[in-house]
Amino acid sequence: MTSEKLIRVLVVDDSAYIRKVMKQMLERSPFIEVVGTAINGVEALEKVKELDPDVITLDLIMPVMNGVEFLKNLMPTNPKPVLIASIASENGRMTMDAIEAGALEYIQKPTALATEKIYEITNELIEKVKILAQTRIPKPETAVAEIHNRRLKSNNRFEIVVIGVSTGGPQALRKIIPLLPTDFPLPICIVQHMPEGYTAIFSNRLNEQSKVKVVEATEGMTVEPGKVIIAKAGKHLAITPLQNGKKIAKLMAGNASNLYCPAVDVLFRSAAEVYGEKVLGLVLTGMGNDGKEGAAWIKAKGGIVLTEAESTCVVYGMPRSVDEAMLSDERIPLEEIAKRIVELTCTVL
């Protein structure tokens, strides 16, 4: 492979040891070249101009200019795919700030210490850099407004909306959920692939930005109209009916049959089994094929499946798998999805 075909990476971290190890880990792949390093955001901005990397790995806590400030300076003028490398327990809220500023992916450092434990993330690091090298950078965030100012009620065609999403998902969900009006009449359950420690923070952030209620899933939580439930990282989310007609959230441990935990397939299948033909499923941007099997369950029960159009996907992986399996009823650009959800599920009073 010639050098011009290599994925060119800039590593940004204030630790000399981490910079050295990140370079060693990434260059275990014959398809990746670390073209430079930077010790803080100010130096990183200069290196981006000089080197024009394909992907940037970014520490968050750095002197002079931290990772969030770097992103706020970079993304409006010279957007690049950015992979956050942090420790969730210390930097979870800061990571959400970074995602809102334009970072696309995140990887948990197993330690902040200068030990060989950091090498545990080698394979995941390489895989995510390869994925980000093929991504489409989302458009900058714009202000959102309610789709309808008048009252809504369910049109009875559907009783639940389920959504599966991965890479680029936080940005995509921020362009859908805050658009939904206060009286949206159905429950929404979401699987967003995230490391443990992030989903509670993300749910709280999205709740602050939305008119509907957004919460992280807990065992036994009621699945009810106007509530958006985001699966808890590290636990599958399923829906269980009670004898009184109510439906509740059930959290389950992962198993070898699912690459991700939570898995979109688990949520979609449970929704299809409980609600039958009254399920509206959406598969949005993300790598891999999680959601394809679940979409087949929804379709088999008579429900409807929508996929995000390739033109707006950060990674056209999950939607592609559903599209190619002929399971998608409609392919919709991201900016039109919230409106389409309301059109399919609601009647304006």
**C-alpha span between 329 and 349 (Å, rounded):** 27
**C-alpha span between 141 and 101 (Å, rounded):** 9
**∠ at Cα 216 (102, 121), nearest 5°?**
55
Catalytic residue (choose from 59, 97, 290, 323): 290
**Catalytic-residue membership of 193:** yes
Sign for the CA dihedral angle at 58, 64, 68, 73 comes to: negative
**Catalytic-residue membership of 290:** yes
Question: What are the residues whose beta carbons fall under 8 Å from the beta carbon of 134, sequence distance 6 or more?
Answer: 315
Catalytic residue (choose from 193, 236, 265, 321): 193
- Where do we find the tokens 């957007």? 79
82-86 sheet: strands from edge to edge: 32-38, 7-12, 55-58, 82-86, 105-108
Catalytic residue (choose from 59, 86, 97, 166): 166
164 - beta bridge partners? 191, 283
**C-alpha span between 195 and 218 (Å, rounded):** 17
Q: How far is CA 62 from CA 13, 202, 325, in A?
A: 7, 23, 45
Comparing C-alpha atoms, which of 258, 268, 321, 322 is closest to residue 298?
A: 268
> H or E segment at 67?
helix 67-74
- Where do we find the tokens 């900016």? 335
304 - beta bridge partners? 280
Sign for the CA dihedral angle at 101, 106, 108, 113 comes to: negative
Strands of the chain, DSSP E: 7-12, 32-38, 55-58, 82-86, 105-108, 152-154, 160-165, 188-192, 213-216, 227-230, 236-241, 247-252, 279-283, 304-308, 330-332, 346-348
* Catalytic residue set: 166, 193, 290
